[in-house]
Structure 1
């Protein structure tokens, strides 16, 4: 009979301090505070370089240049030259906080977000840079010590995991989850600040990074429980919008007086506990499923107390792979018996309330695993159970290195429930990749960062699919790139019916870049796609033989297409650029179709255009 050791309250608190974020399941019960940006009232004594405007655009060929238009909702910094601007600090201070915003860099520009005015997350125009460092876009900037040897003054900086940044003039989305440093009653620091999670353009670039002290350029090297949000303003033109700040200021719940009991056997529903003898029982300082029981099927029951310092509604999420679980708090069933995942909310008074957690592992193939998360009023979701226990039999991901395998054919799933069954994904060491649909002769998606996760394709029996693992720009539902139109306003073909479309494979050049070949409407098409210098985008060259009249190429479709200069277009709220490089004398048309917009152009023998991303 196994009895786990009594675990100290100190270890329990440390476990409770560990924050687990799931990209698809993160919750925040706190009310977010949106900075409306109708004026500059949210900031302390902003310098003259800071303005509130209605919109901004960048010029790709001019450094430190943003063009503005009247209105509100966008915060912009326009220093006349680098070094001339001034940092801006919010009127509010924060401790634990989530910050979410969109930002735009001018060409060659540099800025940063300082949490508490002390810990900088770097914002930079890193477009075209193929390496990653702490000073690049999304990096956690270095600390600085002038007493260190020359050239080694900077230390404890962290490069982003992936190069997920985008071109100047495009909106980039940033999400930061920050945990402030902790101090005891005497003001001594007992826990370092942390970047719990940082996402750039939908890609995690930092997770659970400990910050041992302020980074270079902090407002103070003395750490504190609170401080203002600070935006660097002396390094170049930058703009922000959709700024949302969520504060987490309330204390966490604490477990105490825990006792466990193990019952052997398969229990798909709760038994009458008095009718069955336990295998083991005793006190425990932590909620864990890691009890080393010999039974492959068992039920584990915890009873104890929950200390609630702040009354309010709390949400409990219980994860029990290979089984089910129940949570009762204050004699109320909050999470009912449910296989794998259960959730529920309850209003709790301040004070000490009884708690009961039941975990029944009745699938003998699964490893014991249980996790209980809590969120509440101004309380970030956190793990209150043992952090050392895995949640399932973890499969090592099968990641494709583009230097070893630059081209992979697989299924690709895209938004809208579409599966591309003849997808060819092409990767590059510059960390810019794309997927081509051979069933329609069309581009499906373009992304920066990692290449492909082929785990669903190759693990176990597999389903034939792979997944892009970077910052993805989807290019719409696959359809023919070339169609015959009776007029410029005729609807685009929804499938290949009547087009005589036939794909003929692809060939590779000396750089292993593919040229796709197919026939459509009697024309023979060669569709060559190459990478622009330093991975700044892709260039597509379409050439036709035996061409017929009234053939058009649809370059792109989206909610909004704006022409910003001759031959240069911004797509979908400044998500990416389309540039006409050689239209062979043809004139492009932006047209409205079924509530969306399309950029089309007639084609006879050739067309070259680029997507800048």
Structure 2
């Protein structure tokens, strides 16, 4: 439980601790809170290897080392021979929790996060590795039993689905949803703990994993309903920031006194009920569970549910409705939370504690779809749960069509980018080293790279298909496609937004002995060979542009981003340490960083050759 006396005493001493107190109280009461990192008062007896910093970076050549800048907001651990390091435990304890944070690994570093101090999610510098085990980045570490035979002492560990980790010194994003073990009134465990979901860098790598007991290195083999968050500190250099904790300890709202009325007919808009007699009506029974399975006797009908929602904790609640095959709406406490809309909708409302009126409409009017009604609810200290009948997901129409990267495929397809932009002449190139990229043949430019599995081609090839494919790993995109090379009147002139006036002509690509493509095109009268190669162990991409007959005033835009940091020796950090860019060979030209419309660009005058590497 919270160490209230210690926290209140500290709060009287320093303003920053008052902020910490407020955050700790919020977490103790089941609300979302950001762990304050102005100092170390959020943690129990922090060791000397832990510190608060304003900035942190790593050198790719230095093992287990960080460069640390003054300030606040970043939690850093740097163990050494002098300060060997120890684990860091929060002053609060948690049960069911969602944890979200950014973390950074130093080269060769190893760390972990223990839920309740007992169940470890592994953190590791796995850059350049395709191996996956329970000890890999994002793995759920093994349990351990010394009495078992050699080679079998570790058991019940779970490898991540994919290796989607990034290079040391880059920020990575982690989300963990955890369900604590359950106990009866006598203290007997009735349900094991579960990792409901782990998402690393935007990719789900663990889902619905049952934990039969504490993992190796737990603070205790005795399981309990609550425990502190624990950050491993005795293995290597690691940094954390933006630590968000959302606890779920409050009782769920419940439905009671449900009644229903069924109206036959096609209702694409909400009807006036006073003028329409129902075909059937009745109480829902003792279960008080919403369902679409009421034997309406027709393919087109509307169900109107009325009842009482018992709210046990006041606050803001979110209602998420799936009305497959038609439309649905939700009204709670006489407020329209989800207006009448097709297929699905989501809305939020602030509710008092107590009993409030509830109404739900489900109109099924699409003949070709089977009826599905699902309603999920979340609120203050209440994790989203299904308040309707079992989750009736849509029928699986086809097995996924997954393209493996083992044979270095080059797949032509449409590629959809954020912002409703479709690349119609995309070539996606796979690598057995699990680093892949997409090239836009219409602009002669690199549009994205990703780490992990290659492509989901189901939307491209299933039945008639729509021609598109989707990356399966952790994606780094490079913005809306535009040309890599352009002629400028000066180094401050605006970059061309498309190929108009450039005489751009794509000339396809050729494959080398390793089946890696070199793309060819003409622009401004110059002939360009654009070779992109996956470097050793899949640590990044090297791009080499060879230009014959370059036009006067020809420049290459190497990167366009919100932020470009010069890290020295030709190395740059892009967009708050999302990836590295290294300039390898500029044929004697000097790079220029300029600001255009609030964003930064790195451009280079082009002579005959340009080579640079993206490390990711």
TM-score by length of 1: 0.88
Distance 1:356 1:607, change over 3 A: closer
- State the partner residue of 1:179: 179
Alpha-carbon contact 2:407-2:431 (below 8 Å) kept:
no
- Alignment counterpart, residue 466 of structure 1, candidates 448, 465, 469: 469
Q: Deviations over 1:162-202 (max 9, x none)?
A: 22110000011112222222222222222222222221111
Let me know the Cα RMSD of the aligned residues.
2.7
Alpha-carbon contact 2:425-2:441 (below 8 Å) kept:
yes
- State the partner residue of 1:362: 365
1:533 aligns with 2:529: no
Distance 1:497 1:205, change over 3 A: same
Take 2:330 and 2:210, find their aligned partners in 1: how far apart are those partners?
32
Secondary structure (helix, strand or coil) at the match of 1:370 reads: strand
- State the partner residue of 1:52: 52
| Offset at residue 564 of structure 1 (A) | 1.3
Mapping of residues 268-279 of structure 1, within 5 Å: 268=268, 269=270, 275-278=277-280
Deviation larger for 86-95 or 395-404: 395-404
| Offset at residue 550 of structure 1 (A) | 3.1
Distance 1:546 1:313, change over 3 A: closer
Distance 1:81 1:453, change over 3 A: farther
- State the partner residue of 2:38: 38
Alpha-carbon contact 1:264-1:279 (below 8 Å) kept:
no
Alpha-carbon contact 1:264-1:278 (below 8 Å) kept:
no
Alpha-carbon contact 1:260-1:283 (below 8 Å) kept:
no
Deviation larger for 396-405 or 30-39: 396-405
Distance 1:540 1:228, change over 3 A: same
- State the partner residue of 2:10: none
1:444 aligns with 2:450: no
Q: Deviations over 1:305-326 (max 9, x none)?
A: 5443324443322210112234
Alpha-carbon contact 1:516-1:528 (below 8 Å) kept:
yes
Secondary structure (helix, strand or coil) at the match of 1:457 reads: helix
Deviation larger for 105-114 or 593-602: 593-602
- State the partner residue of 1:564: 567
Distance 1:35 1:347, change over 3 A: closer
| Offset at residue 379 of structure 1 (A) | 1.6
Secondary structure (helix, strand or coil) at the match of 2:121 reads: strand
- State the partner residue of 1:116: 116
1:145 aligns with 2:145: yes
Q: Deviations over 1:387-435 (max 9, x none)?
A: 3411466554333222367111122222344322211111122221111
- State the partner residue of 1:599: 602
The higher-RCO structure (CA 8 Å, 6+ apart) is 1
Deviation larger for 46-55 or 151-160: 151-160
What number of residue pairs does the alignment pair up? Answer: 585
- State the partner residue of 1:250: 250
Alpha-carbon contact 1:431-1:449 (below 8 Å) kept:
yes
Alpha-carbon contact 1:160-1:206 (below 8 Å) kept:
yes
Take 1:191 and 1:66, find their aligned partners in 2: how far apart are those partners?
42
Alpha-carbon contact 1:262-1:298 (below 8 Å) kept:
yes
Secondary structure (helix, strand or coil) at the match of 1:590 reads: strand
Alpha-carbon contact 1:82-1:235 (below 8 Å) kept:
no
Secondary structure (helix, strand or coil) at the match of 1:363 reads: coil
Alpha-carbon contact 1:248-1:378 (below 8 Å) kept:
yes
Deviation larger for 101-110 or 216-225: 216-225
Alpha-carbon contact 1:199-1:205 (below 8 Å) kept:
yes
Alpha-carbon contact 1:83-1:236 (below 8 Å) kept:
no
- Alignment counterpart, residue 426 of structure 1, candidates 426, 429, 446: 429
1:390 aligns with 2:411: no
Take 2:91 and 2:547, find their aligned partners in 1: how far apart are those partners?
61
- State the partner residue of 2:222: 222
Distance 1:592 1:257, change over 3 A: closer
Secondary structure (helix, strand or coil) at the match of 1:592 reads: strand
Deviation larger for 183-192 or 362-371: 183-192
Secondary structure (helix, strand or coil) at the match of 1:113 reads: strand
- Alignment counterpart, residue 296 of structure 1, candidates 295, 299, 305: 299
Distance 1:394 1:220, change over 3 A: farther
